[in-house]
Amino acid sequence: MPSNSSPDPGWARASFTLPRAPDGSDAVYLAGNSLGAQPHAAREALLSAVDEQWAAVGVAGWEDCGWWATPQRLGDRVGALVGAAPGQVVVGDSTSVQLFGALIAAARLRPGRHVLLSDGGHFPTDRYLAASVARLTGLELVTASPDAMAPDAGTAVVAVPAVDFRTGERWDLDAIVGRAHEAGAVVLVDLSHAVGVMPVELDALAVDLAVGCTYKYLNGGPGAPAFAYVAARHHEVLDPPLTGWTGHADPFAMTEAWTPAPGVGRLRVGTPPMLSMLALDGALGVFDDPDSPDIAGVRAASLALGDAFLAALPPRVDVVTPREHERRGGHIAVRVRDADGLCAALARRGVVVDARPPDLLRFGFAAPYVTLDDARTAARELAALL
């Protein structure tokens, strides 16, 4: 990764197309924690895929254009952002599909245990799928806050987010993984609100499995494919529940029985969604271009944006996100009386954020395109409305 570790926030703003404010100017776009802004390179890659690949060569694109290898090639690019050595990440399918497969595969790594321990405040997909997986596998679903989890000898899987999707609180993965492994459990981390905005050292932390989306801070576009990580030590025994043809050791042999592909490739399920995959391919250049900062630099810039926002807020504003850097993710949440109404009112003033019921406004600090002026403007407009 590049080594510039202290960039100015908004260093890549000219590489993005931002939504428009009502007056026709660029909006102050602080919703990248929900859907990232559009990188020019993503649009160019998508147009190239349509006009110069699909239209030009048709089905030959799977080999001639390298489409078939894209899930693992992109996996290694994403893996570099989350501290994963090559060969441990695959991209494709939705976050829900990746999470379902990872939860069951994780449970199968610990046969004979009976508890799935999950964050009670997890993102809805994580909660719904944990409940479904518990019913399918016969596990008992137990919920707790990540910082209060106490896995024991009956715990098969500990499923946590790296960052709380509502409050933006960053959880201490080192401590969580340590407690889980001491009890013999497997750890599955959802990185959707962390990847692309803060360092996550999956290998160094000894995380077992992880999933994450690519349409937030990675700017892959609406519905961009998700990724899954499996530590290399589990590869040869990993037993995924979705045994799709592209995860077969020899997919074009069309054999009667499913034989898993070596390594993380066995997590591939269906035909890769190539147009969205190639849009993501273009978007990732924001992070691994030689002139871009490393992920530590991205984190420093994001924190600087959050600090500027907090400093410009009046003391009466109820900030629910921890102010300490080590406890903060990429977005800051404030509690207000009418979150939906204020979200709409801010949009009319050219500030795009999002609301989470019943009373939270979230301000996302995607450092490549958000500037310090943006952060201060958002704080001033919120204060004026309040």
Peptide bond into 358 cis (omega under 30): yes
Distances, alpha carbon 203 to alpha carbons 158, 195, 210, 284, in Å: 17, 15, 11, 21
Q: Report the greatest alpha carbon distance in the chain.
A: 66
CB 372 within 8 A of CB 308: yes
> In terms of DSSP bridges, do strands 140-144 and 155-161 run parallel, antiparallel, or are they unpaired?
unpaired
Give ∠ CA 72-75-79 in degrees, rounded to 5. Answer: 145
CA distance 125 to 106: 17
Quick check: helix, strand or coil at residue 20?
strand
Nearest to 267 by CA among 88, 86, 66: 88
Q: Which amino acids are annotated catalytic?
A: 123, 190, 215-216, 362
DSSP state of 252: G
314: tokens are: 């009046």
CA distance 134 to 361: 32
Strand partners, 170: 163
